[in-house]
Structure 1
Amino acid sequence: MTNAYLGIDIGTTAIKAALFSADGAVIGDGIAEYRLETPAPDIVELDPELYWQATQTALQGALANAAGCAIRALAITGQCETLICVDQAGRPLRKAIVWLDNRAKAEAAELTATFGSDHLFRLSGQTEMLPCWPAPKILWLQKHDPTTYAACAKYLMVEDFIAYRLTGEYATCRGLLPSTLYYDIRTGDYDDAMLAAIGISRRQLPALRDPGEIIGHCRAVLPGIPAGTPVAAAPMDHICGALGSGCCEPGVVSATTGCALALCVPTPALLYDDALRISTYHGFTPQSYAMLPWAPTAGMILKHFRDEFCRDWSYADFDRAAAPIAPGADGLVLLPHCAGAVSPVCNPAARGVAYGVTLAHSRGHWSRAIMESIAFLLKDNVLAVADLGCPIRELRVLGGAARSPLWLQIKADVLNLPITTTQCPEATSLGAAMLAAGAAGDVASPAAAAAAMVRTAQVIQPGPDAERYPAIFHKYQALNQLLLPTFGDGEKS
């Protein structure tokens, strides 16, 4: 029998599952999508049973080729902040309040006034109390859904809910909790003062486990997964993605360009960004940490441009059209804040800007300008991380944009850093599976798992255009500094 390890990645609109061999090869994978419910502004929900159904469907695909495999362990990663309320029997009491949900604005403001912004920052590592965090959501339930609030036996993240369905145990990974705002990143424990403020007790929350620690063993609930299979705790998706791309050495950092942009920068000790540019999370080993600068739009901008203006194009067509265009797109500079800015400058009201447009600019110019804008935003965040004493010497890239040779080269040139791709297209699921391998006792550490299971595909070195980009990036920065403050409360009349 071949030893194998399962990784489950619970995304915003889909669940992916993949089965890996001991050398990191994909044995099988599956995906199941779902559509979020948005019945009113700021309301984003989903029936928790759809998460469970999607998990089963994704696992069917992952296990289709599992004959001859001994599934040693599994782990579940994914989105943070999605809140599920269950009763004493573990049955959902209402629809899940998805992480995108912003109904709890008044409650977030109330908690900020009660505790103060600096205290909340030190407690959680999060630069701002947002309405999407679970603490204000629970306070919202107290005020607006007292029936659910009174009946709730456990408040769970979606990963905890799936783990409960598999094992019958209520347990969670510390790496999922910093942005709940009822967890203290300094102590690794729930915060009693915040629990009192939102009116819940510790017994209503799952037991705390470190990444790679066993949280329970599977019951005989799913075909193909033997009863007794260990389930390991796993941190949030970006942290697992960093592990799954082999970021186990200082200065080697993962960068995801999917719909959104995210950097994951491991740090050996708890580090705060006192300039409030970047939030802090737990890493993929116990008592480790990571900085996580991110932006809400990245690859989504190119997708929007394709859908609205280039419906006859494939993504490869964008590379072909943009490749002949010189760096700087003949003066066309974009600010990519189409859904607000988060890092390194936070302004939720920010919007995208096109500067220097002429009648000579073709679709190729726009394509290159979009790619450059995301590379500039990435460099802005790399510089912010370096300011905190975390220099970066290599980027491991993840997400759909990693399939664009031109975009990879632009990033290497703008950053003047080597850009590395990995062979596994599902690094997040692989990272979870690597933690599962550790829980099974088959690898000694995440670093040992990375050495055995992660394979690089190519390294893109900076090219001749790297000499031209500092001046263009300076122009982007000047435009950013001029226009970002004009959005929202700072908008000039």
Structure 2
Amino acid sequence: MAYVLTADGGTESLRARVYDLAGRCLGSRAVAYETRFGPGARAEQDPADWWRTFVEASRAAIAEAGIDPAQVEAICTATTSCSVVALDEGGHALRPALIWMDVRASEEAAAVLATGNEALNLNGAGQGPVSAEWMIPKALWLMRHEREVFDRAHRVCEYQDFLTYHLTGEWAASLDNAGLRWHYRSRQGGWATSLVDALGMGAILGKWPPRVVAPGEVVGTLTAKAAEELGLPRSVKVVQGGADALIGMIGLGVHRPGQLALITGSSHLQFGVTETPLNAPGVWGAYADIVYPGLWIVEGGQTSTGSIINWLSRLTGGPLDFERLNREAAALPPGAEGLIVQDHFQGNRTPYTDPLSRGAIVGLTLAHEMAHVFRAVMEGIGFGTRAILDAFGRAGYQSSEITVGGGAAASDLWLQVHADTAGLPVVVPESRDAPSMGAAVLAAHGAGRFGSIDEGIGAMVRPGRRVEPIAANVARYAEIYPRYLALYPRLKEALDA
């Protein structure tokens, strides 16, 4: 028997899992770590916690699986993207990591966009955005505000690269992260040299990892120290992973052109697979080779989705009785009896890319109850997803179905609303742990057990259920959708005034 070990390094914890080659999870353990928040939208973590929890969770998962550690053939990790850290030559952090949700570098992001550099054409056909979350703005912030740390740093890299180094002793960036958020272009010269030069930060090129390794490729094997701490043989291969949401595409089985992954949680991310590059306003990407060699990934996103449900819970002094609310909301007709929600509670990521847009609940009467608002929120989020799919369509990308992973997959109502508002079937694979499953596929492929990522998906990712759109609901939502679209320009005009 052969097994693979995965780690999903999230915002609040790291979860290790052991899988067999049929995609069955045999052991799992999550260990939490602390996030420290500060003024100016700062959010930091101690990278030493990442390694500590990785070791603790991995040993526990292997023990729970009840396997011989010598039978573990490969390790692959998926982590939060844009969690940036400055490291010395030994891989030790010079300061806490600026994790993905840290947006202190907003002025630096504006400076990046203001260059008008051709490297920015990847997002919105050059119209942006450039997010304060991303690598170059954060590295520029370090250079401007903590110059001593920037100058001392041997490497400026990400959570993913930190784990890779401590596992293998090799400095290697993931093509997935670099192509997605570092403006790295695998087919057009690699690093965005002219962009960093325009910002006066050319020194960063010597601080980024010297290797860029694609998901599924072997970075190296375990160092003696890592093998001892993990209780594993030194021969274990370390296979490149990447950003948790993108590796989740693999875990959902989204690998053919025309498929669409909807990653749900506090926010929604939409990732489509395409055979041809495309760039258009309101669309991020397309990014070449960042998940599958020879294919591009097109991206959309909604900033506030599940977080609006959490907001409702806080508003009522929660927690909400979700079983009752889902039942009552499902009994209501499409349109929640006149309510429309604009889902921009923290701005709009795509298709408008407007951080100043705000949410709204329109059409309230004294007859409406919490179940109406609950359903209207789901419908507003569904309309937001449809607006992104429409932007994809204008750019030349068409999807035939939506494959859902994450929190929304647990709600039958939410799945049906997504199917009905988009007018597309919704597919939910058997495993909901998409990043871990995707990492398991990559690990098995890198270990030589499968000849391709596609072959690994076929062997390890099992189909689940399919939710078909209801024709009457699709027709009703087609009548409501233009009213949803009309809210944005009218509310923007009111807010601007």
Is the pair's TM-score, using the shorter chain for normalization, greater than 0.5? yes
Q: Which ranges in structure 1 are unaligned for 5 or more consecutive residues?
A: none
The answer on 1:354 being equivalent to 2:357 is: no
Counterpart CA distance in 2 for 1:350 and 1:376 is 16
- Alpha-carbon distance in 1 for matches of 2:320, 2:213: 47
Deviation at 1:100, TM superposition (A): 1.9
Deviation at 1:486, TM superposition (A): 4.5
Q: Distance in 2 between matches of 1:260 and 1:304?
A: 13
User: Residues 361 and 57 of structure 1: is their aligned pair in 2 closer, same or farther, counting only changes over 3 Å?
Assistant: farther
RMSD: 2.1
How far 1:119 moved relative to its partner? Answer: 4.3
Tell me, yes or no, if structure 1 residue 468 matches structure 2 residue 476.
yes
Whether contact under 8 Å (1:212, 1:439) holds in the other structure is yes
Structure 1 CA distance, aligned partners of 2:123 and 2:352? 21
Q: Deviations over 1:236-262 (max 9, x none)?
A: 222211111111222221112211001
Match of 1:218 in 2: 222
Residue 280 (str. 1) matches residue 286 (str. 2): yes
TM-score by length of 2: 0.92
Give, as a single letter, the amino acid of the residue that structure 1 aligns with 2:193: D
**Cα contact 2:283–2:392 (8 A) shared by 1:** no
Match of 1:116 in 2: 116
Q: Match of 2:328, SS?
A: helix
1:20 aligned partner: 19
Name the SS of the counterpart of 2:2 in structure 1. strand
Which whole-Å CA distance do the structure 1 matches of 2:232 and 2:413 have between them? 42
Matched residue SS, 1:265: strand
How far apart are 1:182 and its partner, in Å?
5.3
Q: Deviations over 1:107-139 (max 9, x none)?
A: 3333333x3155422499883223322212222
Deviations 1:72-129 (A, max 9, x none): 211112222111111122211111111222222333333333x315542249988322
Q: Using a 3 Å threshold, how does the CA distance of structure 1 residues 477 and 447 change in structure 2: closer, same or farther? A: same
1:154–1:205 contact (8 Å) kept in structure 2:
yes
2:489 corresponds to:
481
Matches within 5 A, 1:69-468: 70-113=71-114, 115-116=115-116, 118-122=118-122, 127-181=128-182, 183-187=184-188, 189-196=190-197, 197-200=200-203, 202-206=205-209, 207-219=211-223, 220-273=227-280, 275-282=281-288, 283-309=290-316, 311-463=318-470, 464-468=472-476
SS of 2:313 mapped into structure 1:
helix
The change in CA–CA distance for 1:350 and 1:435 in structure 2 (over 3 A counts) is same
CA distance in 1, matches of 2:261, 2:401: 9
Q: Which runs of 5+ in 2 are unaligned?
A: none
Secondary structure (helix, strand or coil) at the match of 2:365 reads coil
The 1-side partners of 2:122 and 2:473 are apart by: 42
CA 1:276–1:366 in 2, change beyond 3 Å: closer, same or farther?
closer
Structure 1 residues 309, 476: closer, same or farther in 2, change over 3 A?
same
The whole-number CA distance in structure 2 between the counterparts of 1:125 and 1:80 is 22
Asked if structure 2 preserves the Cα contact closer than 8 Å seen for 1:262 and 1:294, the reply is yes
Q: In the superposition, relative to structure 1, how do residues 140 and 356 fare at CA in structure 2: closer, same or farther (>3 Å)?
A: same
Task: Evaluate the alpha carbon distance shift between residue 96 and residue 6 of structure 1 in structure 2; reply closer, same or farther with a 3 A threshold.
Answer: same
What residue in structure 2 maps to residue 60 of structure 1?
59
**Is the Cα contact below 8 Å between 1:230 and 1:440 reproduced in 2?**
yes
Conserved in 1, the CA contact under 8 Å of 2:303 and 2:347?
A: yes
CA distance in 2, matches of 1:120, 1:312: 43
**Aligned residues between the structures:** 486
Give the TM-score normalised by the residue count of structure 1.
0.93
The amino acid that maps onto 1:12 is T
Deviation, structure 1 residue 320: 1.1
CA distance in 2, matches of 1:139, 1:67: 47
Cα distance, 1:477–1:25 mapped onto 2, change above 3 Å: same
User: Cα offset for 1:293?
Assistant: 0.2
Aligned-residue offset at 1:180: 4.2
Does structure 2 conserve the Cα–Cα contact (< 8 Å) formed by 1:14 and 1:34?
Answer: yes
Q: Which amino acid aligns with 1:271?
A: L
Supply the distance in 1 between the matched residues of 2:89 and 2:72 (Cα, whole angstroms): 31
Overall identity of the aligned pairs, in %: 29
Structure 1, residues 427-473: CA drift from partner, whole Å, max 9, x if none? 11111111111111100111111111111121111123222111011
Moved more, 5-14 or 154-163: 5-14
Distance 1:62 1:86 in 2: 29
- Residues 42-51 or 152-161, more deviating: 42-51
State the alpha-carbon separation in 1 of the partners of residues 266 and 297 from structure 2: 21
What is the CA-CA distance between 1:317 and the residue it aligns to?
2.4
Hey, what's the Cα distance between the residues in 2 that align with 1:458 and 1:202? 46
Q: Is the 8 A contact 1:37 1:45 kept in 2?
A: yes
Q: Deviations over 1:35-70 (max 9, x none)?
A: 321221222211111222222233234223333352
Distance (Å, rounded) in 2 between the aligned partners of 1:124 and 1:212: 29
Question: d(CA) in 2 for partners of 1:260 and 1:441?
Answer: 35
Task: Find the aligned partners of 1:100 and 1:338 in 2 and give their Cα distance.
Answer: 16
- CA separation in 2, counterparts of 1:125 and 1:248? 24
Cα distance in 2 between the residues matched to 1:470 and 1:123 = 29
Q: What SS does structure 1 have at the residue aligned with 2:3? A: strand
384-393 or 217-226, which moves further after superposition?
A: 217-226
